[in-house]
Structure 1
Amino acid sequence: MDFTLNLTQEQKLIMTQQMQLSVKLLQMSSFELQEYMEKEFQENPVLEAKYEENSETDKFKDRIDYKELIKYFEFDNYGSQSYGNYDEDEVSPFNFISNSKSLKECLHEQIGELNENDYLKSICDYIIENIDNRGYLDTTLEEICKEIKCNKELGEKALIIVQSLEPDGIGARDIKECLKIQLRKKGVEDEVIYKIIEEHIENLADNKYNVIAKDLNISLKDVQHYGDIIKSLEPKPSRGFFTGDEVKYIVPDAYIRKIDGVYHIIMNDSLLPKLSINSVYKDIINNEKDKFAVEYVKDRINSAMFLIKSVEHRKSTIYKVLEKILELQKDYFEYGEEYLKPMTLKEIADNLGMHESTISRAIRDKYIYTSRGTIKIKDLFTVGYNNEQGEDISVRNIKNQIKKLIEEEDKTKPLSDQAICDELNNMNMNISRRTVAKYREELGIKSSSKRKRF
């Protein structure tokens, strides 16, 4: 054993900070990039950001519409406030402020309107605060009574009051109680349906009508009727109420429009601010007295310039990808979903001379607006199968055909996966029964035994 000193030569790709940032910006959605650019604008003093503004004509038109809207509201008695004259200075923007009410706020308001004593109302309010996002009581009544030091009889009375509120089924302790509350409010008194909920809720979920019919000594048709009623109820009473989560709106990164018979890609430039370098800082660079300030400004300018270049590179990459997609999927944009061709990331990457990971990042969380609505770019990528004629058929078209066959089937004799497979093979879509089962499950469609009607 001895120590030796060797000289070797090798090639390595080391991701610099700037390269990492460029990759990071490419995979950001428009919303994420907008937030990032605003953060950089606040931290980097040499950056200037400018959003496109509407013309004065548009502003004037908006003001007219704004005042006409008020007149319309007042005329139809949508609001009790009288606005008097409609001069711009007289209209308060506070008249248009609204706030989404949460489920708990709605429940507290209903409690406040009840003709009950304040102590009982306070117990009801405490119970409401223990309701979870689904609309169920998140803790036991015993624990609540122990925490607020009230007797169980009063706690049960308060819970009954809470469960009588809207939406139906609120304040239930489990799904069985939730369904029973809704049935009672609908005036359903048939004991059989309550027995099915109590003893056979799992069998009902699995469409095991034979088991339920045999146990309760009723016909399959009656079980199915009861099942239809139960399945029409709401298992999550909180559904449709504001939960506190802000809605994120989808903004397309580009528009694909047909102009004079030719499709064009128009990038959505109005979404992001236009970045530039503040010319004031050029004077600081020319001033050689304060070397520290000069170095700082140079560093900030370099950072700003790289951000501007990265944003432009992101835009050009997305444009190139969309250009190639438009070339390959022209029939889809022209005629619709049935003409969507199989297309993979590798195919686009090879055509553009890029890596698959770059294409994947470029389409991540990106949307385009077309004549057929807003589409996620990723949804246009799909694998396919070759039929006997050698034509490529996309998975989406196969799924649509499976869905169509199931929608048109005889519900008393639903198609099995093998029967669907045979039908697809007759249409020159050569796939196996296991593949049919896989696609059916991905579509959220139950098996034939669970689709059967009596």
Structure 2
Amino acid sequence: MKQRLSPATQQHLVLTPQLRQAIRLLQLSAAELEAEVAEAVASNPLLDWQDDGALVDPPVTAGAVPASPEPASGDIETAPDEHWETDTEEWQASGSAPAGRDDGSEVEQPDTEESLQDHLLWQLHLGHFSPRDTRIGIALIDAIDDDGYLREDLATLAASLRADIDATPAEMLPVLHRIQQFDPVGVGARDLGECLCLQLQALPADTPARALALSIAAGPLPQLPKLGIDGVSALLGCPPAAAEAAVQLLRTLDPRPGAQHGALPAGSYIRPDCVVWRQQGLWQVALAGGALPRVTIQRDYQQMIRHASSCDADYLRGHLQEARWLLKGLEARADTLLRVVRCLVREQAAFLEFGPQALRPLTLRSVAADLGLHESTVSRAIARKYVRTPRGTLALRDFFASGIGTDDGGSASSTAIQNRIRQLVAGENPRKPLSDARLADTLKAEGVPVARRTVAKYREALQIPASHERMRIG
């Protein structure tokens, strides 16, 4: 075959350094963005934190919503609400300052106490464990979840750790038993029954109903809601009064012993990127304090470029270009984020007004089409982003929901349907709980045709047990 050259025209996307940086900045959370900017300020001599009231060139906050933002186009009119409008000034903070400066920004911080893993590791290192048992203990503690349970099977855990720790499940079990004696009592249990047994064993031996409660926790605990007091009494051959006392003792125990130490490590927090409030019947959107780090280019270094040697000038010009790219990327991020949040508020005003039951079906595609953006851009804009509203701090993903067509030609969001299922279950007769089929029939009667398997899927997503497990007798 004879080879020859022929010209051809084709189009392809080239990601410039500026575009790559803009994409990376867009998908960062507020805390990650602050860390990114702090690192840039430390490494680039032309960047510096902007002082309050200083005249800067160029202004970093260009394009951001000012302290008293004008209503965005398409803002939704709603009935006035005295309670939400009294704190208008509190919701209008914008801009940010370097880490450590008190700028009045809203920050959701968990308790600074140590995490459950830190608490258990502290006890592990205080104990008299051999080096090998210490390594096994570290692996076991790492597998314990925030509720204090070891959900993973020992055989599976041993297989996954074979490269680091060549230990069999039988060798890991004694270490697990020692960890189960740590504080909080009941930690390291593999199921609820074992968790309650560990707590009962820690009680004094003369505790009333302790022995019978141990028998229930180690035996018919899963069937307790269905058996009732009389069924437990007949199964264990004890008087109903004794069974009642044992069940009351079980109710005083903690089914989630790790929750009290489940706080995130110190320094981890949620910082809202935007704030939403209502003023004179209109929903307003603005960047939250800290969402846009306030940095600027040092004017003195810019002037030095003119008088510096060629080598120094090239060095400074390179950093100047990087600084300008960063500032443009921050402005582009703020502009895109505000556009997306304004669209979400416009589409989900009823959600902010009435709660999850009023959430409308909304997808990334519809928001992207409305804003003239790509779906991936919208996805990056809402990733790990939060907005502070009169209903609390919400993730931007909470504003999205898939939809199901209704009999009247409209549509209902999956979140609204799940909320209705939760309401129906909460109001059911505990002696005759609603089955998935009955829940589906009720929703159909309300104009929302859903299949039984769809109801089952939503019920499991809500962590609601099946009807036979919700049955209460006595």
Do they fold alike, i.e. is TM over 0.5? yes
How far off its partner does 1:373 sit?
Answer: 1.4
How far off its partner does 1:286 sit?
Answer: 0.9
Separation of aligned partners in 2, 1:123 and 1:248: 25
Separation of aligned partners in 1, 2:465 and 2:47: 56
How far off its partner does 1:361 sit?
Answer: 0.7
1:11-410 equivalence runs, <5 A: 11-50=11-50, 52=52, 100=113, 125-126=127-128, 132=141, 163=181, 167-169=184-186, 178-184=195-201, 185=203, 187-189=207-209, 191-200=211-220, 203-204=222-223, 216=236, 230=250, 233-235=253-255, 237-241=257-261, 245-246=265-266, 248-287=268-307, 290-410=309-429
Separation of aligned partners in 2, 1:381 and 1:370: 16
CA offsets, 1:186-205, max 9 Å, x none? 6144544333434556x559
Separation of aligned partners in 1, 2:304 and 2:436: 74
TM-score (norm 2): 0.68
C-alpha distance 220-416 of structure 1, shift in aligned 2 (>3 A): farther
Separation of aligned partners in 2, 1:193 and 1:345: 52
Separation of aligned partners in 1, 2:259 and 2:303: 60
Could you say what secondary structure the match of 1:195 adopts? Answer: helix
| Identical amino acids, percent of aligned pairs | 30
Equivalent pair of 2:273/2:288 in contact (CA under 8 Å): yes
**Code of the aligned partner of 1:424:** L
Separation of aligned partners in 2, 1:107 and 1:325: 43
**Code of the aligned partner of 1:342:** P
How far off its partner does 1:237 sit?
Answer: 3.7
Q: Which residue of 1 aligns with 2:457?
A: 438
- More helix as a share of residues: 1
Structure 2 unmatched ranges of 5 or more: 54-110, 155-173
C-alpha distance 424-219 of structure 1, shift in aligned 2 (>3 A): farther
- Return 322-331 or 370-379, whichever deviates more: 322-331
**Code of the aligned partner of 1:402:** I
Separation of aligned partners in 1, 2:277 and 2:427: 35
C-alpha distance 444-125 of structure 1, shift in aligned 2 (>3 A): same
Q: Please identify the structure whose Cα radius of gyration is greater.
A: 1
Separation of aligned partners in 1, 2:231 and 2:311: 84
Equivalent pair of 1:382/1:394 in contact (CA under 8 Å): yes
How far off its partner does 1:342 sit?
Answer: 1.3
Q: Which residue of 1 aligns with 2:439?
A: 420
Equivalent pair of 1:52/1:273 in contact (CA under 8 Å): no
Q: Which residue of 2 aligns with 1:85?
A: none
Equivalent pair of 1:424/1:430 in contact (CA under 8 Å): yes
Separation of aligned partners in 1, 2:329 and 2:319: 15
C-alpha distance 51-342 of structure 1, shift in aligned 2 (>3 A): farther
Equivalent pair of 1:51/1:272 in contact (CA under 8 Å): no
Structure 1 unmatched ranges of 5 or more: 54-97, 112-121, 140-155
Could you say what secondary structure the match of 1:296 adopts? Answer: helix
How far off its partner does 1:336 sit?
Answer: 3.5
Separation of aligned partners in 1, 2:112 and 2:15: 47
Could you say what secondary structure the match of 2:128 adopts? Answer: helix
**Code of the aligned partner of 2:128:** Y
Separation of aligned partners in 2, 1:170 and 1:334: 41
How far off its partner does 1:287 sit?
Answer: 2.1
Separation of aligned partners in 1, 2:33 and 2:406: 43
How far off its partner does 1:106 sit?
Answer: 8.5
Q: Which residue of 2 aligns with 1:451?
A: 470
**Code of the aligned partner of 2:47:** L
Separation of aligned partners in 1, 2:429 and 2:241: 16
C-alpha distance 358-104 of structure 1, shift in aligned 2 (>3 A): closer
CA offsets, 1:98-133, max 9 Å, x none? 984677998999x9xxxxxxxxxx998436985947
**Code of the aligned partner of 2:373:** M
How far off its partner does 1:272 sit?
Answer: 3.7
Separation of aligned partners in 2, 1:358 and 1:123: 47
C-alpha distance 425-232 of structure 1, shift in aligned 2 (>3 A): farther
Equivalent pair of 1:267/1:319 in contact (CA under 8 Å): yes
Equivalent pair of 1:52/1:270 in contact (CA under 8 Å): no
Separation of aligned partners in 1, 2:368 and 2:118: 52
Could you say what secondary structure the match of 2:320 adopts? Answer: helix
How far off its partner does 1:16 sit?
Answer: 2.4
Higher relative contact order (CA closer than 8 Å, sequence separation 6+):
2
Separation of aligned partners in 2, 1:50 and 1:123: 46
C-alpha distance 219-17 of structure 1, shift in aligned 2 (>3 A): farther
Separation of aligned partners in 1, 2:14 and 2:240: 69
Separation of aligned partners in 2, 1:363 and 1:199: 47
